[in-house]
Structure 1
Amino acid sequence: MPTIATNNEVATVIIIFNVESEKQQELIDTIAKFGDTVKQQPGFVSANIHKSLDGVKVANYAQWQTKEDFENFLKNPEAQEKKAKLREFNQPDSHVYEVIISESKEGIPKIEKKYIYHFAEFRMQPENQLKMVELAKENVGKAMKLPGLVSANFHRSLDGTRVINYGQWSNQEAIENLKKQPGFSSETAYWEGIAENEHHLYELVDSVTSD
């Protein structure tokens, strides 16, 4: 079972597709088929496919032994040839990340189907990434007090343009109850002026490992 690499012993690759809702399942099936090729590549650790509950996103939280292993996979002509079907969909947002914050109420976070997930995508200019990381560290403790939030895992893209919070919730009801609380979202967002944010809720639909 994949775990969040809090000590950065693996390179994390997060790939997020925008998709028309009627094509979401087709995209998931296409990624799964390509996964048969990917899992045979040197250095591959895991791929974890998520679909957004609103139907407009598909996300792959993937792990490789090193950044170089992932880059070699991208340069492998035979592997990339089998990726042709995926090119029929929208170009995804794909970056290599390192885990910079991991807070959990249940020990080392495990990627498994019992959770509802959120990908909070923060986009910024490279000169703002360090400030975004600092703000995340300042605010994660408050977030972990929320009922139903199991873990919050912030990732920094190596190119400086992204920070992603990959969070786990015990169930969707906990999120809906949070939204009903007086004052929810009334405060100024801590990232305002530093980054643009987009977030969606997901369920994990498939995990592929090198085993």
Structure 2
Amino acid sequence: MPRINKNNSVITPIVIFSVEPERQQNLIDIIIDFLPDVEKQAGFVSASLHKSMDGEKVVNYAQWQSIKDYEGFLENPNLQSGRTKLSEFNRPDSHIYEIAISESKVGIPSISKGGLTHIAEFRMQPENQARLVELEQENVTIAMEHPDLLSATFHRSLDGTRTINYGQWRSLDNFDLLLKEPKYESVREYWKELAENEFHLYQVVHTVGN
């Protein structure tokens, strides 16, 4: 079972596909068929597939031992067949991340099939990333007051252009409280002068590795 541990030594490629809702399951099936070959690559740790509940996104939250291992996987010519099938879909937004902030009510968070998450992607100019991470640190405690939010983990991309909040939820029934209640106002506003934001709600549909 993949674990999201701020103190581990892995790198975290997060690959976000935008997809037509009617093709979402097809994309997931192609990735699942490709994963047995990926698992054999040196340095592979885990992969966790998420489907957005609106049908518009598929996210692979992956873990590798090192950037060198991940680049070796990307450059491996023996995996071209799987890549060709994926090239039939929109080019994904793919970056390598490290964990910057992690708050949890359940110890070290783990990713399991059926889990409920929201993944919020922040896009910014590199000169704004450090300040955004500071503000994320200031506001994560407020967000964690939501009774159904189990963990919130902020990742920063190594190229400086992204941060991602990976939030795990007990239930999404009351998620809208985060968007409406006055007590969470700062959580909704802190990033607006620094970044563009897009978020979707997801379910974990497949995991491999640990």
In the superposition, the TM-score normalised over structure 2's length comes to 0.94
**Structure 1 stretches lacking a partner, 5+ long:** none
Q: Paired residue for 2:115?
A: 115
Instruction: Map Cα deviations across residues 93-136 of structure 1 (whole Å, 9 max, x no partner).
Output: 00000001110001000111353101100000001000111110
Which whole-Å CA distance do the structure 1 matches of 2:39 and 2:131 have between them?
A: 36
Number of the residue aligned with 1:199: 199
Within 1, Cα distance between the matches of 2:181 and 2:98?
A: 35
Q: Confirm whether residue 74 of structure 1 aligns to residue 80 of structure 2.
A: no
Give the CA deviation at 1:179.
5.6
Q: 1:117 to 1:182 in 2, by over 3 A?
A: closer
How far apart, CA to CA, are the structure 2 residues paired with 1:194 and 1:68?
31
Q: Residue deviations 1:159-183, cap 9 Å, x none?
A: 000000001010121314x268554
Give aligned pairs, total.
Answer: 209
2:145 equivalent in structure 1: 145
Change in Cα spacing, 1:30 to 1:144, as seen in structure 2 (3 Å) is same
1: CA distance between counterparts of 2:179 and 2:10? 38
Query: Which has the larger displacement, 146-155 or 113-122?
Result: 113-122
Which secondary structure does the structure 2 equivalent of 1:9 belong to? Answer: coil
Matched with 1:10 is 10
- Partner SS state of residue 172, structure 1: coil
The answer for the alignment partner of 1:61 in structure 2 is 61
- SS of corresponding position for 1:88: coil
CA distance in 1 between partners of 2:13 and 2:26 (Å): 22
Q: How does 1:17-36 map to 2 (within 5 A)?
A: 17-36=17-36
> Quick check: 1:17–1:93 contact (8 Å CA) kept in 2?
yes
The AA in structure 1 aligned to 2:166 is: Y
Unaligned segments of structure 2, at least 5 residues: none
Residue 7 of structure 1, CA deviation: 1.0
Tell me the distance in 1 between the aligned counterparts of 2:83 and 2:122.
Answer: 27
Q: For 1:41 and 1:204, locate their aligned partners in 2 and report how far apart those are by CA, in whole Å.
A: 23
How far residue 153 of structure 1 moved from its aligned partner, in angstroms, is 0.3
Runs of 4 or more above 3 Å deviation: 179-188
Change (3 A) 1:8 1:61: same
- The alignment-based identity, stated in percent, is 56
Q: Is the 1:14–1:94 contact (alpha carbons within 8 Å) kept by the matching residues of 2?
A: yes
Q: After alignment, is 109-118 or 37-46 more displaced? A: 109-118
Query: What is the distance in 2 between the residues matched to 1:169 and 1:33?
Result: 28
Tell me the secondary structure at the aligned position of residue 174 of structure 2: helix
Decide whether the 8 Å contact of 1:47 with 1:209 is kept in 2: yes
TM-score, length-scaled by structure 1: 0.94
* Per-residue Cα deviation, 1:125-148 (whole angstroms, up to 9, x for no partner): 001000111110111111111110
- Distance, in Å, in 2 between the alignment partners of 1:179 and 1:96 is 28
Q: What's the CA shift for 1:208?
A: 1.3
Q: What's the RMSD between the two structures over aligned residues?
A: 1.7
